[in-house]
A and B are shown apart, each in its own frame.
Chain A
């Protein structure tokens, strides 16, 4: 029962107001906002005490153009130079090589990143891609550039290396050993660990080779039993006292499960031709209100692991192939294969990437993503003639979301200069406060200020530089909750109104909500915001979740197009998840299509390349694989577990001469699809078909 009539109920004045600013110099207004946001959330109390505020350090990717790393560094003045660290992984050769464009990992203070963002041309920086806040104690500023050459590792003919990048890989588990105190892991890097301070040690994290891992195994084995908790503490993976959190300390860890699917074998039947490389990524820093991006860590991991893979030589002198697995995904990005992550992947895996060695075959397997039902994607087309009405997205910003939220509206590509004003966008707060328009014009943005005049949300335009070359309007919100006093964004139902202007009838605006969620077992952080227009049908007539968009739907919110933003490039093998018992796609398994890159008629892909087991059956969700501690098995589902199954299959087949590339996996999927009951799910979700990789192929545990 409604006590007050809705129409006449008076809104409590929020004290908020929108403010438009015509021109600001920042390349990326969204980045500018995020840097300020972090300061607003972490430093106000220190400021009140009148103390000197410590600099906030970030990991970041710099998109450098027409320069070299050394030349870029030289341009920084002394004060800024001291606040920037180029990881020691870049050799002298890497640093002096002049390139056309390159994504370079750096660790830098907010001050440096802000300077680069405001005067990008001066520094040859096309864009700054922010990673995550990092405690400066976790950067070894003394680290010196490493030697180019590493000693070779001899392996039998027919060897295929498996390389896994993930969080919490319990690499001491017996499924990664070939003896009580002998590991199959040739190299592991643990990025979240506090590095040593010697110049010869890594810039971030620790690096362990087989000899070091074996020594740790010996030191922690008594009565034929490995004390695994102690092993991980001594290896630097787990430290309960330093404020980091390793999923390796939990019974179930993503990285262990994934790595065991890709390369686990019973210890007493371990092959000698399946060496393992692994990189353990940092988990979210609780203090990072942006939620953080894993990108710089990923690029560093790729850099380290590909360098290690290059050390291997078969007896016959050839370099063994390597299959990489990276079971991570996100929602946002241009979805046309030109994102920073797609470009970084091509650098290492593409046919002509600068880091690619023509003598060594490298493959990368990625999951399609789990966002199919997440309501984080919308497609706005304005194909009516004459007076085309605006379209409005209802966007739910979750309460108790302690990290920033972001909606990205990607414009169509245009070669025209200046860009056509495709659309104008306005945002309305849950209180009904509407912003002014943001248009396709450099510097166009609107700020939402709270009653103290502090910015809590920003709607802004930016041009994503080549090779993307598309306009992007971003709505960024502050966290909606904080345990300390902070400028919060209002939670609730926002509206994003998109008014067509010069957009053509056959063009569309593609919208994604960036991923912002807390994984089970982690401390509370983000809560996933989503679109919630009433005409989106969530369930079929039996009440089951609808996994494909209903035919002829007029909803702006789409399942089609939810493919992970990481998985849109031309080279990786992208794998969806299916339910083994009935051959249907798992409800969560994300769908294509994606957008063609600038000036191309076709996209790099329609969706995943193939799909594989992500769930055993509708009631036995997930698949079994290794738990963190030796001898334990746990269940995990998602496209995350489908990908490593394919990575293992690919490695086994490459050992006998298969190409192991996209065309190969698509052909395999086409052949194996017949093992499942018809019909074959639609191609935008399953790819070329369903892979039936037997349990025998993936026999992990004893």
Chain B
């Protein structure tokens, strides 16, 4: 997956797309490398060299003339104003969005029979110092080692599908966005802000799931048996929750929320667009089991995390967001004989997570939905959300 936030900056995230160059059939998607299309500005690159700098220097010397007086009409820039965002490069904005989301959560962990990760939300009202009161966002308890052992039979069965799914598994290594783009009309030229929002979400996603994986320290299938022989390199981070499940579900749900928020009629009548995106997300998650790097349980935990974080991001983006959702994954309660089934965690038509998933009285996932106080949103994210929603509205005819 694309790297997490700070060090590399967003380009490293986008460079993940280079994976697609392998997918020659999709050369159209090289459009996505249009994101290096910020290299569309590569015009400037000519001056960022010793020769270019020398030429700017001599040009100035040639035309600069005598010093002028400063114009008194130059005024101060607007502080903390989302209007500034449109003048910033996407790379710069990506850091701002990452900060906005990253500072709204904090973390703790405990180690009992199995490890538990706690992701807390740190809410603050706009324009005020943050309250140091953490409220639950995600609680995730790892299943037992025996449950993982029991799920190994799925690794063997799903391996039979590798011949069928090899190409898509490789193509899905970096990001789910090009696959979502085959369902809804995403394109860097057409929906740049939607793509920016999705990548902000994906970065935030990795920021969280990597920390949770670190706590839970779930072993990968390859550590249980020499017969898994995954068809791709096993990532060094933990198995549960599945990062691909988290990412594909957060992206699918956010995009579905954008479509719903656009008010465009075809997205309102039923849940079919959302349903298709969830089917895609589920396929991407399952493909990681086919590849031999994840247990079905990892996808269960990952999709729960992704779906819940999508709601969390929405709340910070949209002042009209209705809900505030927290979720718990009781990993030890999950019946290891069961496969991953996203329907138990989400209902696309109404964009809702059920209160309980799993057997009555002993659910392995629970969610709590409260009305949002609508005071947590971030102005930069609200700006981005508005731009993205507009990309899904039909253009009025002249």
Contact = CB atoms under 8 A, between A and B. Distances in A.
B343 A241 contact: no
Interface residues of B, number: 25
A230 B270 contact: no
B156 interface: yes
A240 B164 contact: no
B157 A239 contact: yes
Interface stretch (A221-229, A445-453, A569-577): A221-229
Nearest to B286: A229
A233 B279 CA distance: 16
B157 A233 contact: no
B349 A222 contact: yes
Contacts of B276: 225
Given A251-B164, A521-B163, A223 B274 contact: yes
Nearest to B283: A229
A240 B271 contact: no
Contacts of A249: 160-161, 164
A222 B339 contact: no
Given A223-B348, A230-B341, A241 B157 contact: yes
B158 interface: yes
A240 B154 contact: yes
A233 B276 CA distance: 19
Given A230-B341, A251-B164, A521-B164, A223 B349 contact: yes
Contacts of B339: 233, 240-241
Interface string A555-581: 000000000000000000000000000
A245 B154 CA distance: 11
B183 interface: no
B272 A223 contact: yes
A225 B183 CA distance: 15
A250 B164 contact: yes
Contacts of B158: 240
Interface string A11-35: 0000000000000000000000000
B347 interface: yes
Contacts of A225: 272, 275-276, 279
B83 interface: no
Interface in B328-371: 337, 339, 341, 343, 347-349
B47 interface: no
Nearest to B152: A241
Nearest to A233: B339
A685 to B, nearest CB: 33
A456 B271 CA distance: 62
Contacts of B275: 222-223, 225
A523 B276 CA distance: 31
Interface string A224-256: 110101100100000111111100011100000
B21 interface: no
Contacts of A242: 153, 157
Contacts of A224: 270, 272
Given A223-B270, A224-B272, A243 B163 contact: no
Interface in A443-463: none
B345 to A, nearest CB: 13
A268 B349 CA distance: 24
Interface residues of A, number: 20
Contacts of B341: 230
A523 B274 contact: no
B171 to A, nearest CB: 15
A343 B371 CA distance: 72
A244 to B, nearest CB: 8
Nearest to B274: A223
Contacts of A244: 157
B164 A243 contact: no
Contacts of B347: 222
Interface in B250-283: 270-272, 274-276, 279
Interface string B161-175: 101100000000000
A491 B267 CA distance: 63
Contacts of B163: 521
A250 B286 CA distance: 14
Contact of B343 (A230, A243, A250): A230
A242 B161 CA distance: 15
A240 B279 contact: no
Nearest to A246: B160
A523 B160 contact: yes
A282 to B, nearest CB: 15
A287 to B, nearest CB: 13
Nearest to A628: B164
A230 B347 CA distance: 15
A167 to B, nearest CB: 14
A225 B157 CA distance: 26
A251 B154 CA distance: 19
Q: Which residue, A222, A229, A245, A249, has most C-beta atoms of chain B within 10 A? A: A222
Interface in B284-303: 286
Nearest to A230: B341
A599 to B, nearest CB: 49
B354 to A, nearest CB: 13
A240 B157 contact: yes
A219 to B, nearest CB: 10
A606 to B, nearest CB: 40
Contacts of B164: 249-251, 521
Contacts of B337: 241
Nearest to B161: A249
Contacts of A239: 157
A524 B349 CA distance: 43
B157 A243 contact: yes
Contacts of B270: 223-224
Nearest to A239: B157
A241 B348 contact: no
A227 B347 CA distance: 13
A243 B152 CA distance: 11
Given A250-B164, A251-B164, A243 B156 contact: yes
A572 B34 CA distance: 61
Interface string B135-169: 00000000000000001011011101101100000
A227 B157 contact: no
B288 to A, nearest CB: 14
A241 B271 contact: no
A249 B341 CA distance: 16
Contacts of B272: 223-225
A193 to B, nearest CB: 14
A692 B348 CA distance: 47
Contacts of B343: 222, 227, 230
Given A222-B343, A240-B339, A245-B160, A227 B279 contact: yes
A245 B349 contact: no
A222 B352 CA distance: 14
Interface in A659-695: none
A242 B160 CA distance: 13
Contacts of A523: 160
A241 B276 CA distance: 26
B69 to A, nearest CB: 67
B274 A245 contact: no
What are the 4 A-B residue pairs with the smallest beta carbon separation, nearest first?
Answer: A240-B157, A223-B271, A223-B275, A241-B153
6 contacts: A222-B275, A223-B270, A225-B272, A225-B275, A241-B154, A521-B160
Given A223-B270, A224-B272, A225-B276, 10 more contacts: A222-B271, A222-B275, A223-B274, A229-B286, A240-B158, A240-B339, A241-B151, A241-B154, A245-B160, A249-B160
Interface of B: 151, 153-154, 156-158, 160-161, 163-164, 270-272, 274-276, 279, 286, 337, 339, 341, 343, 347-349
Interface of A: 222-225, 227, 229-230, 233, 239-245, 249-251, 521, 523
